[in-house]
Structure 1
Amino acid sequence: MGFLTWCSRCAGGLSMLALVGLSYYVISRESVVENYGFILYRGASAKDGSHSSKITAAGAGIWTFVFAYYCLLIHFMVALFPIRACWSIWSITKSLRQSAQSRAVQSYKAAGLRRQSSASSITSSETLSSSDSDNVFSTASELTDSESELSTEGKDGIQSGPIIHAIVIPNYKEEVETLRETLDVLASHPQAHICYDVYLGMELREAGGESKALSLVQRYIRKFRSIDYTLHPADIPGEAAGKGSNIAWAARKLSSNYTMSARKNVIVTGIDADSHLSPRYFAQISNMHTVHPETASTTLYAAPIIFDRNAHNVNAFVRVADILWCAAGMSGLYSSSVIAPPTSVYSLPLQLVDRVGGWDCDSDAIGEDLHMFIKCFFALNGHLTCRTVLSPVSQTNVSGGGKGGIRGALLDVKARYKQAIRHMWGALDSGFAIRKASEMWKDRKYTSRAFRPLHKTCRGDSLDGYFPEAQLEAGSELAAENDVFSDITRDTLKEPHWEHIFYMAHRLFEAHFLPLHMMILVVASALYTFVTKGGEDPNNLSWVFSACNVLRPLGFMEIAVYMLIYESYHRVCVQARERDMIQAGLADGMCFSHRSLKQNCIDYFLVPVAALLYGTLPCAQAEISHFWTADLEYAVSKKAVRQRAKSVTVEDVV
């Protein structure tokens, strides 16, 4: 690994050391000025050979200005983030509420049509049932979420065939009950047997993994369009164990199942083993893929997440940490956002997977969701289209497996901290983005690219899986003779979109630098104010730190507003999922974590502690560790399994 590559990988840690060094230098110099009142500098020699002395109280000079204004910038960014999060969650909640009301009206219309059909028909009961089904599908644009799955038309009205969803479920040592619950939810979707190709991404290093996969395939073989499994080999050189390498192997295997003509209508979705998705998730993606054909092959779809299955059973610190994690994920999902990194679950067309050469498998790609987003973003010179799917993904809070009490709470806190380390280990993606931006700048004059299907490329191909243009030219005659390059797709790239690239840099800084820099500057600004208190202000910077003192409590007030809006978001999501599970006949085996402001008021007071414990500290640990290693032992978080009992609310627990 070269020196520049190492520097990019350690960008977060280097920035931390630089900020600590700047703070120490400024505070130490200013304290000298306050203690002695001046600093004596020897001036230049006069014409008569004597030396003049110059007395100044400038302290650290220009570095004092750098320190002060950077402190103001960081405080402003910290105050700005909750505003964007509030706007995003408010707009998403509003859209979800409107969607729920629309579905209620549609259900009422559907019931009216069925009653009218029953009153006017004189056929047998079997014919009535058939007629009712026909009525529903004939008015599916009004009545069902799955209509776009069954019949998709472009803007020109030409039938384009069904959209196929290749759903990859990477897993390692996951409990069979967790996988069954996820597959049960997917199988309950009305379009599952028509449009869902499910791939279980198993690990060869898991003892009994293949037998587990075979039993699941046999159980659900008739529930989906197809279901298969892949076995990711262990100890492949250059690969790091984790979700990224698992899904990368599965993607290469599934790629061979689709012809060149079918690939344009294949959407690949990667989900966690405990993720529950509504049929609306896939229906909306199918609709957006069809309605926007001009960007269909360059779009990444992301959805908000919700921890609504066992939040009432975990420690309050864990619950608050995941609520804040939701804020980080949803802050970029508002309707006009051009940078919308996914969290855990996301979808992208198979053509885009081909274009970028699939998922990376090295240590830098441990945060595979953000890593893949960055890879796609720079592969398109910043012209990646981001669309938000207004169908929240249900997930479980991490659990330490305790039986309750103090020991159980400590196990939950410890398990969540390990997960936070894995999240913050994704700071490596900032270095990855720096390298990709550098490559993009070098290749900015090249506007033509070519790529092959994922399964036809070799690991380690240059240009992230792009087929070399030189080889295309050299092999043009050969291609005409025996059709060797018939599966190559040529495309034209636009000029780099510098505005989008700036927004990307801002989001990465906000995710990987801001938490730690804020904590350093909170301490440093307090020390600076202490050592300069009562003294003169020759640089006129006191207003800067006064503004910071205002921005800090303002940020906490904004987070409190976010928490209030989150209550509505959580309520809408839980009610929608509970309604879906009742309709699917799966509610008896599910648990729904309802919230109430009265019972969860403690969550508001734990926000600062949770932010420090699961944001700042793991960020510091990860970035310091990157100085000597990029490897992190991937540990599977324990998931809450299905409970064959009635739904439990927070009130019941209390």
Structure 2
Amino acid sequence: MSLFNWVSRRAGGLSMIWLIALCYWVISRESSLHQHRYKYEQPDKQGSYYSSTSTTGAGIWTFAFAYYCLFIHVLVCLFPMRACWTVWNLTKTLKRAAHSHSLLDLKKLASRRGSYTSVSSSETLTSSHNGASSSTTSEAGDLDPESYTDGVSTAADNVIHVIVIPNYKEEYDTLKETLEVLASHSRAQDSYDVYLAMETRESNGETKALGLMQEFAKKFRSIDFTMHPSDIPGEAAGKGSNIGWAARKLSAKYSMGVRKDVIVTGIDADSHLAADYFALLTNMHLAYPETAATTIYSAPIIFDRNAHNVHPLVRVADIVWVAAGMSGLYPGSSIAPPTSVYSLPLDLIDRVGGWDCDGEAIGEDLHMYIKCFFALNGNLTSRVINCPVSQSNVTGGGASGWRGAYADINARYKQALRHMWGALDTGFAMRKFVEMWQERKHISRAYQPLHCTQVDGADLFIPESQFSDEGVHQPIENGIFSDITKDTIKEPHWEHVFYMVHRIFEAHFLPVHMAILVVASTVYVKVTEGKEDPHNLAWIFNWCNVIRIFGFLQISIYLFMYESFHRVGVAARERAMVKAGLADGMDFSRRGLRKNWKDYLMVPLVAPLYGTIPSAQALICQLWNQDLVYTVSKKATRRQAPPAPRVDDMA
């Protein structure tokens, strides 16, 4: 292993050590700073004049410490600002979508009663290519393909949605409920290919998959399962290796002619996706054909199922985690990393060679995003599906009292550590950046379908002589390499690369660096209090205090705005589940100030407990070991004796 590879894999831990050393050096030197005062007397004038000079200190390192402290404070302040922007825009979009669905329901009801029959529902809510739109569409404000849905099949819709559900030791009822939600969609039988990605490490995994297949065989276009072996050299147990194996297996089922319209969506075992998710996904894929093969789709998540049954610390931790995911999903964002659930075309998976399966890819969502980003020289298109994905909070087992609280808090900490272990993606991005720089002038690429890229575990060699420089994105017609696709990608998009560096730094460095600098700057101000300011840096630390207060205020604003987002999201999901007949036994976690006032008191504890501490633990451990034993978080299961369903009214 080269020195660069060694350093890149430990970049986060080494940066933490460097920052601690810098803070210690500056504080120790500045605390012992002495000033010599010289007295000057002038015979012609009364009085004496004094001048002072500093003979010790940290010199230029004091400036580095102060300005880096200001820089980190500014970055931390930008994070909640983007989250507030996203949650406000998303709430507005959800309310508009709910209004649109209400108009559609009223129209269908009136149509059944014979009130009017001249315009069909698909004509009402589907914008045509010639720009025509109905008055109902205009009123709903849903002309943008990224905003409107119709839930009705169209002639031009040949998109196949491949839904992969990687799981290990998940409850049968959890998987069943997820499949029931998917099966309730109107397009499930026409365009959903579901793959249960099981593990051979689970003794009853195949039996579980066969039972689910038998139960849902007629409810999807197809349903199948894969068994990921546990003894593949170089692989690490986890979601990335599981979905990677499933992708290689399912790839063989789609011919070259249909692959461009096959979209793969990876979800968690407990993820509930609304029908609008796939309707929006289809609309965007068909509306932007020029970038359809190089687009990854992200969606916000919402913990709205068992949040009322977990400890407030866990609940608030997940609300802040939602903010972290939302911070990149604001309108116009060119870098929108996914959280847990995301979609990408099969053609893009072919281009990048599928998912990585080693221990470095434990955070497979961001890892795959980074891999696609640099494979396209930063020209990856990111689109946001404004349809929140319902998730359940982790739980420690449902015990009551302080034992149950401790179990919930401990389970969430383990999940946080797994999230923070994704800091390994920093090194991965550094190496991919170097590769992109080295190959920046070579924009001609060739690739095969994913299932053809390996022969007996070795990468298949594609000779340059098999393709010419002419033609873009064209398969080669003859010979054993007839399924090779030649493509020309754009030159590196350096602005996007800059934004990507910012997001990676924000995700993997800020939690620890901010905590270190808050403590260090406080100590620095304390030890230099009452002394002169020879470096003229006092204003920086004063501004840092102001920025911290402003950042905390922004988090409070985000929590307030989240209340509306959560209320609208829960109501939309409940309405859909009642309509599908699945609301019985399903939890809907509602929020209210009277019921959740304790959440606001937990905010100061959440950042260190589920941000700084697990991040520091991950960075320290990665200095000598990059492998984390992947543990499955326990999820809430469906209740057996449900109350009567209720649909909230939306303002």
**TM-score, structure 2 normalization:** 0.90
- Which amino acid letter does the alignment assign opposite residue 532 of structure 1? T
1:111 to 105, 109, 115: 109
The answer for the alignment partner of 2:347 in structure 1 is 351
Shift in Å at residue 274 of structure 1?
A: 0.1
Structure 1 match to 2:43: none
1:558 aligned residue: 554
Does the C-alpha gap of structure 1 residues 461 and 518 become closer, same or farther in structure 2, counting only changes over 3 Å? farther
Q: Give the number of aligned pairs.
A: 609
How do 1:171-182 residues align onto structure 2 when only pairs under 5 Å count?
Answer: 171-182=167-178
- Report what 1:7 is aligned to: 7
Cα 1:648–1:223, aligned 2, differ >3 Å: closer, same or farther? closer
Indicate whether 1:567 and 2:563 are aligned. Answer: yes
Asked if 2 retains the 8 angstrom alpha-carbon contact of 1:449 and 1:466, the reply is no
Amino acid at match of 1:150: S
Residue 16 in structure 1 maps to residue 10 in structure 2: no
Q: Does the aligned pair in 1 maintain the 2:476–2:484 contact within 8 Å?
A: no
Alpha-carbon separation, structure 1, partners of 2:477 and 2:555: 65
Q: Which of 149, 153, 171 is the aligned partner of 1:150?
A: 153
Q: Which residue of 2 aligns with 1:218?
A: 214
- Give, as a single letter, the amino acid of the residue that structure 2 aligns with 1:32: S
Give the CA deviation at 1:3.
Answer: 2.2
- Provide structure 1 residue ranges, at least 5 long, that are not aligned to the other structure: 40-53, 121-131, 154-160, 650-654
Conserved 8 A contact 1:164-1:197: yes
Aligned partners of 1:508 and 1:603: how far apart in 2? 28
Give CA-to-partner distance per residue, 1:404-452, whole Å, 9 cap, x none.
2110000000000000000000000011000000000000000100100
- Separation of aligned partners in 1, 2:181 and 2:478: 47
**72, 75, 80: which one aligns with 2:70:** 72
Q: Does 1:619 align with 2:615?
A: yes
Q: 1:466 and 1:601, CA in 2 relative to 1: closer, same or farther beyond 3 A?
A: farther
Match of 1:590? 586
| CA spacing shift, 1:89–1:618, aligned 2, 3 Å | same
Are 2:489 and 1:472 equivalent residues in the alignment? no
Runs of 4+ that moved beyond 6 A: 142-146, 459-462
Corresponding residue number in structure 1 for 2:45 = none
Partner of 1:276: 272
* Deviation for aligned residue 1:598: 1.9
Contact 1:58 1:539 in 2 (8 A): no
Could you tell me which amino acid in structure 1 is paired with residue 300 of structure 2? P
Equivalent position to 1:166, from 157, 162, 167:
162
Aligned residue for 2:397, secondary structure, equals: coil
Question: Relative to structure 2, which stretch is displaced further, 397-406 or 410-419?
Answer: 397-406
Superposed displacement of residue 2, structure 1:
2.6
- What residue in structure 1 maps to residue 496 of structure 2? 500
Task: Check whether the contact 2:235–2:241 (CA below 8 A) recurs between aligned residues.
Answer: yes
User: What is the DSSP-based 3-state SS (H/G/I as helix, E as strand, rest coil) of the residue aligned with 1:588?
Assistant: coil
Pair 1:633-2:629 in alignment: yes
TM-superposition CA deviations, 1:469-492 (whole Å, max 9, x none)? 525359x9xx98953121111111
Larger proportion of helix? 1
**Is the CA contact (8 Å cut-off) linking 2:476 and 2:485 kept in structure 1?**
no
State the secondary structure of the residue aligned to 1:364.
helix
- In the alignment, which residue of structure 2 is the partner of 1:328? 324
Over 3 Å counting, the alpha-carbon distance change for 1:183 and 1:545 in structure 2 is: same
Code of the aligned partner of 1:548:
C
**How does 1:482-493 map onto structure 2 within 5 Å?**
483-493=479-489
Q: Deviations for 1:96-154, whole angstroms, at most 9, x for unmatched residues?
A: 1111111111211121112117x99xxxxxxxxxxx9x95567663799875762253x
Whole-Å separation in 2 of the counterparts to 1:480 and 1:489: 6
SS at structure 1 position matched to 2:584: helix
| Alpha-carbon contact 1:148-1:287 (below 8 Å) kept | no
* Distance in 1 (alpha carbons) for counterparts of 2:361 and 2:385: 24
Question: 1:359-417: CA deviations, max 9, x gaps?
Answer: 00001100000000000000110111011101100000000003221100000000000
Alpha-carbon shift at residue 37 of structure 1 (Å): 3.4
1:248 matched to 2:244? The reply is yes
Answer yes or no: is the 8 Å Cα contact 1:339–1:503 preserved in 2.
Answer: yes
Match of 1:362 in 2: 358
CA distance, structure 1, for counterparts of residue 107 and residue 476 of structure 2: 58
1:327-358 Cα distance to aligned partner (Å, 9 max, x none): 00011111200000000000000000000000
SS at match of 1:320: helix
8 A contact 1:149–1:195 mirrored in 2: no
Q: How does 1:409-424 map to 2 (within 5 A)?
A: 409-424=405-420
Distance 2:150 2:525 in 1: 63
* Cα displacement (A) at 1:302: 0.6
Q: Partner letter of residue 359 of structure 1?
A: W
Pairwise CA distance, 1:70: 0.5
Deviation at 1:258, TM superposition (A): 0.4
Give per-residue Cα distances to partners, 1:529-556, cap 9 Å, x unaligned: 1110000111101101111111111111
Structure 2 distance, partners of 1:198, 1:472, is 36
2:199/2:230 contact within 8 Å kept = yes
Structure 1 equivalent of residue 643 of structure 2: 646
* Partner Cα separation in structure 2 for residue 185 and residue 55 of structure 1: 74
Q: Aligned equivalents of 1:544 and 1:487: distance in 2?
A: 60
CA contact 1:317–1:610 (8 Å) conserved in 2: yes
Q: CA deviation at 1:6?
A: 1.5
Question: Which letter does structure 2 place at the counterpart of 1:335?
Answer: P
Structure 2: tracts of 5 or more residues without a match: 38-51, 127-135, 143-147, 647-651
The Cα of 1:461 is off from its aligned counterpart by 9.1
Percent identity for Structure 1 against Structure 2: 61
After alignment, is 601-610 or 321-330 more displaced? 601-610
1:84 to 57, 82, 92: 82
Question: Aligned partners of 2:622 and 2:575: how far apart in 1?
Answer: 46
Residue 45 of structure 1 aligns with which residue? none
Contact map agreement 2:583 2:645 (CA 8 A) in 1: no
1:62-461 to structure 2, matched below 5 A, reads: 62-116=60-114, 141=126, 147=150, 150-151=153-154, 153=156, 161-458=157-454
> Which secondary structure state, in structure 1, belongs to the residue aligned with residue 343 of structure 2?
strand
Judged with a 3 Å threshold, the aligned counterparts in structure 2 of structure 1 residues 149 and 424 are, in CA distance, closer, same or farther, namely farther
Q: Equivalents in 1 of 2:644, 2:530: separation in Å?
A: 61
Distance in 2 (CA, whole Å) between partners of 1:248 and 1:409 is: 36
SS at match of 1:595: coil
SS of 1:544's partner is helix
> Which of residues 516, 521, 524 is equivalent to 1:520?
516
Q: 1:469 to 1:58 in 2, by over 3 A?
A: farther
**What RMSD, in angstroms, separates the aligned Cα atoms of the two structures?**
2.5
Tell whether the 8 Å contact from 2:54 to 2:534 is kept in structure 1 after alignment.
Answer: no
Displacement, 1:56? 2.9
8 Å CA contact 2:151, 2:187 repeated in 1: no
Contact 1:27 / 1:527 at 8 angstroms: preserved in 2?
Answer: yes
Q: What is the rounded CA distance, in whole Å, between the counterparts of 2:17 and 2:518 in structure 1?
A: 16
Deviation track 1:263-308 (CA, whole Å, cap 9, x = no partner) reads 0110000000000000000010000000100000000001100000
TM-score w.r.t. the length of structure 1 is 0.89
